[in-house]
Each structure stands twice: as structure tokens, then as C-alpha cells.
Structure 1
């Protein structure tokens, strides 16, 4: 019989104690019947110990057992949409994406271009597609960062990644034009993107758990 997380609905293994997606502690048969406090009271008249009424204890209420599940695989780090991402993890992963994208694009340009640094239209399109592919992990990281901030409208992630995509496709041609207006638009788009990136980088996330999961700076599966 399939087992699902009561909070986020993720399908889990039968022996799972915590949800691998949101970190919610699951109710098992063991803690269902063992999370009680039994107290025996001595009765002088009967010279016996009398069992006091059982008081059930909810461990989730006592220990706040919803913990943050850290990303363990490459897929979880860059292609996972659920959960939250704090500022430091966001910065490190975004920096890695930018550095790898720059190295790959520059390498392709050096290999493909002729001796004078010229490329054909088809080659430019290929380099652009390769550069755009890095927006996929950027989108997932941005969504999780917005979720850490408790933002309800996650369409902001589409907008931010869209700005980056626009600059990749049209930024170079707009910057090289003789039109001052088009050149201004190109740099304006870059400034807007940079300001949004700084906001995500420095804005502190929600303290404690929010609607998207456990606090990445709180209890994690590494320190439980």
C-alpha cells in the first residue's frame, strides 16, 4: 500500500520516518502508541500502584520535528523546485552556473569562430541555445529563493529568468547598435536584472517554517 506525506502529498517508502521533500515527520505505528506518558500512583488502601489516565503527547508539537532536508544530489541542488533555499546556497549555486556558462560559451566561440573572430548566423544561434539552457537551473534556484522569502506570486521567477533570456538573445545586438536609445535599453535591462539578483542575494528569508517548508537555517537532517 502506497504511503504519502500528509503535508505535501509526496509518495514515500513504507519505512520512511520523514518526508524526503518537505521534511515533515510522519506518524508511524511505533510512535503512535509509544508517545504517551504513563504515570502510576501508589494507593495506600489497596497497597497497589494504580495506573493514571494516559496522556498522549504529540511529538510534532513538543519538538517541532519538521526539519529541513538538505540537497544531496546534483539534481536536487539545481533541478528541484520544492522547498526553500537560503541566501548563501543560492549565491554559491548561481555563481557556479554563471562561471560554467561563461567558460562553455567562450570555449565554443573560440573553437567555432574563424581567425578573425567571426561566426556564422547558425553558429551564433547554437551558442545562444547553449547559453539559454543554463536558465533552466537558474529558474529552479530562483523559485526556491522566492519560496524562502515567503513570496506567494512565484511568477516573479519567470520574469527574472525572462530578463536574463532577453539579454542573452538581444543584448549583444542592442549594445553594438549605433542607436543610443537601444543601447540604453540594453543596459537598463541588465541593471534591472542585477538589482533583482541583489535583492534575492541579500534579503533575509522567512524565520522558521513557512508555507513552502522548513527553514534551511533551522534544524536540518544533518544535525538531528
Structure 2
């Protein structure tokens, strides 16, 4: 599989909607615009789900639906552990030249509990501060390097300031009880024409067909 953000997106989508079929995962992720900001195409979604199943992070169930076979996915204990590891890495590793992992984590942070996300963002803030200090200490004085190189250094400095402001604002929201995290009530609901409502109906059918407890992830046949 290509990248950690891809793995994170696919695992997160399954965790949100499981049991869920591959087409639904593709449709949902495309509604998030992942083909643009995450550079994730439909083929990568299908192949990525299959890879995660082969690695033991997901279970792929073959169900008959309308005369055709449908691949339905549920998570495993291993997969949920992998999701947690990837989220920790995506939030706490600071690489301002490659922001995709952190952007991906932001789309999936409601899957974590508030205390966990708070601690991860605190760690990120500490590392952003460390990155800023290194940039400031190593920045060449004016006149030592060509002007166009100085522009690059200023870009790094400004990027670090923006990153710090974002982390500070997110941490403030978390500590103030804003946003909704795992195990908390969420007063937001999608519009009535959102395909997620059909996914919820399909999920109930899949839960029954697979003999699962609707409140539990689905490792069982």
C-alpha cells in the first residue's frame, strides 16, 4: 500500500461505517474530496481495502446482494491498533513540507476520545515549537545568502507560526469541551439527501447477515 495517510483514511472510513461495502467506502471518501487533497483515486481505494484485509487489519466478508457478490469490510483488533498508531504518528510528527498526514488525521479525529486527542495535540505543539526554534537558530542573516533563499527561510518561519496557531486553537477547542469525540453526543447530522443515511440502512442489513452485535466491531463470521 502506498502511504500511511492512505492506510489511515481507509481504516478510518471502515471504522466509521462498518460493516461497509467497498463501493460505499469509495463513494464516501470521494465525497470528502480525497481525489484532490489526498490524491487517492478509486482504484487505490479498492486495492487498499484488499491489502488491509490481507494484512489482517480488516476482515473481508463476501455477501450476496441483489444477485451479485459484495465485499463487506469490518475491522479487527489488529486494525484498530494500527489505526491508533497511524493517528498518533500523523498528529505528533511535524513535517511542514508534507502536511497530508496531519490533514488526514483532522478528518478522523472524532474516532478518538477527547483525552487522547488532547494529549496528541499537546505533543504536536511541543514539536512545532522545537521546529520553530531550529528554523530561527539556523536562519542565515540577511546578506549572507541570496535574496531568493531568504524568501524560502521566511516561508518556513511563517509556516511554523501558522502551524503553531492552528495547534493552539485546536487544543483550546478540545480543552474547552468543543467539538465531538468518541463516546460523546454529537448534535450535527448530515442533510436528508446525504448517502450516509442509506449506508446506515445497509449497515443494519449487514449486521444481521453477518450475525454481529450492532454495537461492536465485526471480527466474527
Same fold (TM over 0.5): no
- Say which one has the larger Rg: 1
Q: TM-score, normalised by structure 1?
A: 0.34
Q: TM-score, normalised by structure 2?
A: 0.35
